[in-house]
């Protein structure tokens, strides 16, 4: 089939009409896929069991898991005293027994920082943020304290599971 110059021009014009929207659609899909991948990998970076230790005693256990790229979890606290009127450091462990797990609420992720809150056993709504510092290390910070009170960040370490740290196989 032989095309006339007029028909060839129409074909080029129609090709451009279809090519431009296809290109723009592809660009939008690529641009939106990147943040989803970052959010997914960030959520995975927080998943696991995290622990804080003071004077050899576990004072905080934070269990985080992902469900369809959304983080959720629970926190357990031992009894410990913070110097809220001073420098905000952990002063002492007052009861090393962990409370029952408390479900986290309003879990939000912003890059390397996770925000969440929970209602403690006294009925207080406590707000925290956890910032990843290295692969299995993070800082847990109590936020939203009344004016004049401060709390230092508490070092958290992710517990390694058997899947992430397999034991060497014994020869037969």
- CATH code, domain carrying 96: 2.40.128
CA atoms within 13 A on the CB side of 111: 3
Residue 74 falls inside a structural domain: yes
Residue 4 falls inside a structural domain: no
pLDDT tens sequence for the chain (172 residues): 554 555 555 555 544 444 444 443 444 434 443 343 344 458 888 999 999 999 999 999 999 999 877 899 999 999 999 998 889 999 999 999 999 999 999 999 999 999 999 999 899 999 999 999 988 999 999 999 988 899 999 999 999 765 444 444 444 4
Residue 40 falls inside a structural domain: no
User: Which two structure tokens, joined as six digits, stand for 150?
Assistant: 């401060």
Question: Taking the alpha carbons of 101, 106, 109, 112 in that order, is the dihedral positive or negative?
Answer: negative
Residue 145 falls inside a structural domain: yes
Q: Domain containing 152: what range?
A: 45-158
Question: Taking the alpha carbons of 84, 123, 53, 49 in that order, is the dihedral positive or negative?
Answer: negative
Q: How many domains does the chain have?
A: 1
Residue 59 falls inside a structural domain: yes
Residue 122 falls inside a structural domain: yes
Residue 170 falls inside a structural domain: no
CA atoms within 13 A on the CB side of 10: 5
Residue 142 falls inside a structural domain: yes
């Amino acid at each position: 089939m032989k095309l006339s110059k007029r028909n060839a021009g129409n074909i080029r014009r129609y090709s451009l009409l279809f090519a431009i929207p296809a290109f723009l659609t592809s660009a939008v899909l690529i641009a939106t896929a990147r943040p989803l991948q970052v959010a997914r990998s960030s959520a995975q970076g927080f998943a696991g069991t995290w622990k804080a230790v003071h004077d050899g005693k576990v004072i905080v256990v934070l269990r985080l898991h992902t469900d369809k790229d959304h983080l959720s979890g629970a926190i357990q606290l031992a009894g410990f005293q913070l110097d809220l009127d001073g420098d905000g450091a952990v002063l002492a462990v007052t009861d090393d027994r962990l409370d029952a797990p408390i479900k986290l609420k309003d879990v939000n992720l912003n890059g390397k920082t996770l925000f969440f809150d929970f209602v403690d056993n006294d009925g207080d709504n406590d707000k925290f943020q956890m910032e990843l510092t290295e692969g299995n290390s993070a800082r847990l910070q109590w936020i939203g304290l009344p004016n004049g009170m401060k709390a230092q960040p508490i070092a958290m370490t992710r517990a390694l599971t058997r899947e992430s740290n397999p034991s060497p196989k014994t020869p037969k």
